[in-house]
Structure 1
Amino acid sequence: MSVKNATDAVWELNMSYLWLAQRLLQEDRATGMFRLGLTADVADALTSLSIKNMIDLSSSGQVVCVLRPSQLGVVSTFTRPTLPVDIARLHVALAFASGRFNNEELL
């Protein structure tokens, strides 16, 4: 990775996310919305962005995506050695689908 500073890193992250979001939504809208954790309105807005809009949004200096595994329980589910990886992934997917992310729901 040849990023020179944090501003460049934020721009690259934003562009990568927006490009991926559009691709996932164009390939299979429902699955893309689920994977990205988007509402229909946000999915519509992301799908309609032009490349110029994407560049402008990416240049805002703010990270435009929210990482859902920001909750400790989600991260600890993947790092716990007692569960097989497939079960941990399924458990996290179910937690995301239900909208419940606190530690009690994941442990």
Structure 2
Amino acid sequence: MSETSLTNEVEELNLTYLLLAQRMLQTDRASAMFRLKIDDEMAELLLSLSGAQLARLARTNQLLCRFAYDDAEQLRTVTHPPREHNLSGFHSSVIMASHSHLGTATNES
């Protein structure tokens, strides 16, 4: 696969991600902010971007979206067959929420 092809795929993914983020924020802002792990200022900025600005931002050579799991153990926990199959989605949400950059609790002694 050529470098140009990869760059084009990254650009396409970025634009899709940005458009999805805007649609999520327009539909249910609080839920979208939680799922995207962004604060109110970032939400407002994303919503204010025009199509041309989104396209320009998407053309970066880096992925704009971030992998939700910080380490292999988190991914392994979610992807291996759970004991209670009905709880797998809930378990995944709990793991992702516990690593949210918004409102992370700190232990103060």
Query: What is the TM-score of this pair, normalised by structure 2?
Result: 0.78
Is 2:65 the counterpart of 1:65? yes
Q: Residues 4-43 of structure 1: matches in 2 within 5 Å?
A: 5-43=5-43
Structure 1 residues 91-100 or 19-28, which shifts more?
Answer: 91-100
The structure carrying a bigger helix percent of its residues is: 1
Q: CA RMSD in A?
A: 1.8
Residue 70 (structure 1) shift:
4.4
Percent of aligned positions with the same letter in both sequences?
Answer: 35
Greater relative contact order (Cα < 8 A, sep 6+): 2
What is the one-letter code of the residue matched to 1:66?
Answer: R
Q: 1: distance between equivalents of 2:85 and 2:72? A: 17
Matched residues, number = 97
Structure 1 residues 31-40 or 74-83, which shifts more?
Answer: 74-83
Given that 1:77 and 1:88 are in contact with CA atoms closer than 8 Å, whether structure 2 keeps it comes out as no
Q: 2: distance between equivalents of 1:79 and 1:96? A: 13
Higher Rg: 2
Q: Following TM superposition, where does structure 1 have runs of at least 4 consecutive aligned residues deviating by more than 4 angstroms? A: none
Given that 1:15 and 1:54 are in contact with CA atoms closer than 8 Å, whether structure 2 keeps it comes out as yes
SS at match of 1:68: coil
Residue 67 (structure 1) shift:
1.6
Gaps of at least 5 residues in structure 2 are: 101-109
C-alpha distance 8-84 of structure 1, shift in aligned 2 (>3 A):
farther
